[in-house]
């Protein structure tokens, strides 16, 4: 059965590449109108919006800046008239060793982009959804939120763990307003953001920690986001869905 998202307006942050791009493409193929957020790659974002069609548009915002994040949400609502689904996907994965003089700056930037921006957009989405009788928030966290990460990425793990509490709190607090919240927790995903780390450890070494014989790709996550956005899994609100090639059970 093909899921039909025609008539739904969906904002996907960090959608010009990687996981976000895969999500945006899948949503578009199901008929959704997608707000393709990007920070730098205007060409890629505009090309993706054109490829998706359905009236999709590209929107620029540096989510490290809270005012820019607020403006992004308003720009999307002004352009589309309303928003039905928010996908908080944008994130950074900075290498910040404890010995580094820039450790604190890296920590602050990571939490600002990965967690604070998601909270700001979620707040605006909740207020918007309350006026419209409901909506859906899908947060892209990480396996690192539950099992931690290496010492160079303490801030990344902490930021993704914060998304867990944020998502569950939204689900508990606003479910009776028709507002749903879901958390997706991928493991290693083969993207540009992870390319350097994958090359450092070696893809074969990482796969040894998995139950499957290949790394997860954005296309492996996208169908689940389509399902959650459709409203066909509403009673799973507050749920964390692990997509990590069985690395918890291997």
* DSSP 8-state secondary structure symbol assigned to residue 234: G
* DSSP 8-state secondary structure symbol assigned to residue 113: I
> In whole angstroms, what is the distance from residue 159 CA to residue 94 CA?
12
Whose tokens are 């890629």? That residue is: 44
Residues that are catalytic = 156
What SS3 class is residue 54? coil
- Residue (of 67, 65, 52, 64) closest to 12 by Cα position: 52
Q: Which two tokens stand for residue 78?
A: 């002004």
The count of C-alpha atoms lying within 13 angstroms of the C-alpha of 36, restricted to the half-sphere facing its C-beta, is 32
> In whole angstroms, what is the distance from residue 21 CA to residue 218 CA?
8
The beta-carbon contacts of 163-169 under 8 Å, at least 24 apart in sequence, are 163/88, 163/114, 163/115, 163/118, 163/139, 164/240, 166/115, 166/118, 166/119, 166/122, 166/139, 167/137, 167/139, 167/141, 167/238, 167/240, 168/238
> In whole angstroms, what is the distance from residue 233 CA to residue 236 CA?
6
Is the dihedral angle over the CA atoms 217, 118, 50, 7 positive or is it negative? Answer: positive
> In whole angstroms, what is the distance from residue 148 CA to residue 117 CA?
21
């Amino acid at each position: 059965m093909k899921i039909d998202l025609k008539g739904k307006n969906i904002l996907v942050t960090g959608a010009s590449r990687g996981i976000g791009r895969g999500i945006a493409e899948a949503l578009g193929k199901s008929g959704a109108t997608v707000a393709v957020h990007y920070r730098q790659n205007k060409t890629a974002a505009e090309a993706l919006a054109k490829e998706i069609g359905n009236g999709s548009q590209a929107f620029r915002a540096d989510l490290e800046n809270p005012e820019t994040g607020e403006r992004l949400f308003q720009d999307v609502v002004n352009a589309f008239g309303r928003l039905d689904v928010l996908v908080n996907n944008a994130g950074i994965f900075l290498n910040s060793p404890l010995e580094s003089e820039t450790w604190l700056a890296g920590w602050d930037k990571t939490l600002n982009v990965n967690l604070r921006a998601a909270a700001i957009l979620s707040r605006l989405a909740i207020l918007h959804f309350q006026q419209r009788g409901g909506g859906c928030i899908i947060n892209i966290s990480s396996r690192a939120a539950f099992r931690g990460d290496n010492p160079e990425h303490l801030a990344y793990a902490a930021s993704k763990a914060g998304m867990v509490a944020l998502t569950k709190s939204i689900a508990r607090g606003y479910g009776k307003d028709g507002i749903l919240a879901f958390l997706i927790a991928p493991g290693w995903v083969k993207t540009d953001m992870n390319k350097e780390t994958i090359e450092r450890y070696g893809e074969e070494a990482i796969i040894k920690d998995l139950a499957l014989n290949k790394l997860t790709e954005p296309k492996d996550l996208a169908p689940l986001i389509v399902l959650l956005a459709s409203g066909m899994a509403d009673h799973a609100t507050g749920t964390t869905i692990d997509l990590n090639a069985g690395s918890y059970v291997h």
